[in-house]
């Protein structure tokens, strides 16, 4: 039953991906020189999956213990909601958000949350095993 539910959920996500119209725009490369970052985190960095997953990992680690005292929510669900909030906020602050962008944020949040959970397994979980 659980495998069937996961299969249906995956097929729904895949169907949503193909239902979203994909728009591509060609932009000129302005400057390819690498400059030193002036801020640790920017909105442009948070739009990327790498930036969203890193922030998701850090935020979940800070709020997971206090949140577990109040509600017993699955960590994967919390990570998805946080990744979605980060992606939507970053898109809203930089390019604005419309329905197409929001639908893509829904899908990219899965990737960012899964990446954050994978980073947790590779980094923080090792410290918990040694203690």
pLDDT tens per residue across span 22-48: 444 444 444 555 555 567 888 898 999
Q: Which residues, 6+ apart, have CB-to-CB distance to 75 below 8 Å?
A: 60, 64, 117
Please provide residue 31's backbone torsions phi and psi, each rounded to the nearest 5 degrees: -150, 125
pLDDT one-digit tens code per residue, 48-107: 999 999 999 999 989 988 888 888 888 889 999 999 999 999 999 999 999 999 999 999
Domain ranges in the chain?
A: 41-131
């Amino acid at each position: 039953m659980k495998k069937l539910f996961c299969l249906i959920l995956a097929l729904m996500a895949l169907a949503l991906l193909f239902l979203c119209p994909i728009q591509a725009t060609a932009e000129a490369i302005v400057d390819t020189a690498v400059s030193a970052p002036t801020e640790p985190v920017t909105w442009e960095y948070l739009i990327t999956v790498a930036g969203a997953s890193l922030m998701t990992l850090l935020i979940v680690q800070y709020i997971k213990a206090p949140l577990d005292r109040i509600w017993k929510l699955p960590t994967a669900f919390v990570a998805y909601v946080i990744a979605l909030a980060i992606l939507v906020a970053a898109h809203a602050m930089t390019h604005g958000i419309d329905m197409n962008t929001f639908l893509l944020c829904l899908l990219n949040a899965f990737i960012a949350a899964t990446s954050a959970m994978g980073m947790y397994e590779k980094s923080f979980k090792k410290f918990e095993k040694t203690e």
